[in-house]
Amino acid sequence: MALINENYLKLQGSYLFAEIARRITRFKEDNPNADVIRLGIGDVTRPLPEAVIKGLHTAVDEMADVKTFRGYGPEQGYQFLIEKIIATDYQSLGVSLDVDELFVSDGSKSDVGNIQEIFGVNNRVAITDPVYPVYLDTNVMAGRTGELVNGKFAGVTYLTCNAENNFTPALPEEKVDIIYLCFPNNPTGTTLPKEELKKWVDYAKANGAIILYDAAYEAYIQEPGIPHSIYEIEGAKEVAIEFRTFSKNAGFTGTRCAFTVVPKTVLAATKDGGQYPLNKLWNRRQTTKFNGVPYIIQRGAEAVYTPEGQQQIKSLINYYMDNAKTIREGLKSIGLDVFGGVNAPYIWLKTPQGYDSWSFFDKLLNEANIVGTPGAGFGPAGEGYFRLTAFGSQESTQEAIERIKTKLSL
């Protein structure tokens, strides 16, 4: 008799964005004429850069001709793309990588979700709280946690990030083996300076732990001194895997291309006391369960690295960061406590006195017809906070802030 994976049953039933969608639908039924502005989900809204469009069209034409048609490509991605990523995104930071240390994929969500497969079940996982839910849920599904008790899964180390500790997670008291870090952070929009990130690299080296570093938002960093890659930290190439994506810098959320760096020097333990390179395991995982990103899409991603492409993604980021400033300053002007939004497209605010995350969600929707994301949806430490994103249009973002200023009763 076939048995299901019962770990799935530990997961919470209603997923955050599904509950948000439910409440919006109900609101729209009750208020059919309301003009709802969505600043909730982290999805981009601007079209793909011209250079990317050109790269895509050219590649489509290649697929129409028997002489240039491409069938199966390397599961790890085409060298033409990998080489450009390394030269532009890493060598500029003084980080050298071999081509077989970088794996092109269909998305960071896939990679941060699948990476746990190469680790044994008996590893203790640490996540920040609040957190992007995929890190946690995929470990629950793999059986690396106990049951959910009072909003936390047993066997997982939650690293609280809140206004009291300036959103800087403290090193764990118990020993942990796998540490998920995301900076610039989703959902809080905050960053970690080099000296703080170095504490984690040192911890990992001292304890044989592995850091899974999600740098999805690195392109949004505006201030100097904030690391764009964990490999800017000495020793990180021995303990860290890094995830990056074209979703947020080049508008690829619906176009799907990302990459993951697994230096060959990152080793994890075997039961017999040996050590094994994670690069080899990830390569086996990807070659066995994945067949690469569409050739067309990889040519589109490659175009990001042309001079025009680099200019165009800079404009995109500036566009969204202008929105972030609008939101940040608008909320501050009415006396709200606001975090993030300086080096990240997310603004994290403390809900006003008397409101928890979900009641503020309802208040914002009812009074200003604006959708955001309740902080409690990202973990227990997100309660009392709320996320707005800078990915809307300039017009709708300005309109949203105007409404918050004039219609929200505080």
Q: Which of residues 11-30 bind a copy of itself (CB under 8 A)?
A: 11, 15
- Taking CB under 8 A as the rule, does residue 289 contact a copy of itself? yes
- Taking CB under 8 A as the rule, does residue 372 contact a copy of itself? no
Quote the least distance from Cβ 300 to a copy of itself, whole Å. 8
Taking CB under 8 A as the binding criterion, the range among 146-154, 166-174, 254-262, 333-341 that sits at the site for a copy of itself is: 254-262
- Taking CB under 8 A as the rule, does residue 129 contact a copy of itself? no
Interface residue with a copy of itself, options 26, 47, 87, 362 (CB under 8 A): 47
Residues from 150 through 189 that contact a copy of itself (CB under 8 A): 177-178
- Rank residues 7 and 366 by Cβ distance to a copy of itself and give the closer one: 7
- Rank residues 50 and 98 by Cβ distance to a copy of itself and give the closer one: 50
Residues from 256 through 275 that contact a copy of itself (CB under 8 A): 256, 268-271
- Cβ-contact 167, 190 below 8 angstroms: yes
How far apart are alpha carbons 48 and 338 in whole angstroms?
30
Interface residue with a copy of itself, options 30, 32, 71, 223 (CB under 8 A): 71
Residues from 320 through 339 that contact a copy of itself (CB under 8 A): none
Taking CB under 8 A as the binding criterion, the range among 2-10, 21-29, 216-224, 336-344 that sits at the site for a copy of itself is: 2-10
- Cβ-contact 369, 37 below 8 angstroms: yes
* 3-class SS string, 341-402: CCCCCEEEEECCCCCCHHHHHHHHHHHHCEECEEHHHHCHHHCCEEEEECCCCHHHHHHHHH
Strand partners, 348: 339, 387
| Beta strand pairing call for 148-149 and 275-277 | unpaired
Residues 6+ apart with CB under 8 A from 68: 61, 62
C-alpha dihedral sign at 357, 361, 363, 364: positive
Structure tokens at 200: 């984690």
- Taking CB under 8 A as the rule, does residue 284 contact a copy of itself? yes
- Taking CB under 8 A as the rule, does residue 138 contact a copy of itself? yes
Interface residue with a copy of itself, options 19, 222, 290, 398 (CB under 8 A): 290
Question: Tokens 């077989």 correspond to what residue?
Answer: 100
- Rank residues 107 and 384 by Cβ distance to a copy of itself and give the closer one: 107
Whose CA is closest to 23, among 40, 7, 10, 1?
A: 40
Whose CA is closest to 313, among 326, 323, 301, 325?
A: 301
Interface residue with a copy of itself, options 95, 293, 303, 331 (CB under 8 A): 293
Residues from 193 through 222 that contact a copy of itself (CB under 8 A): 207-210
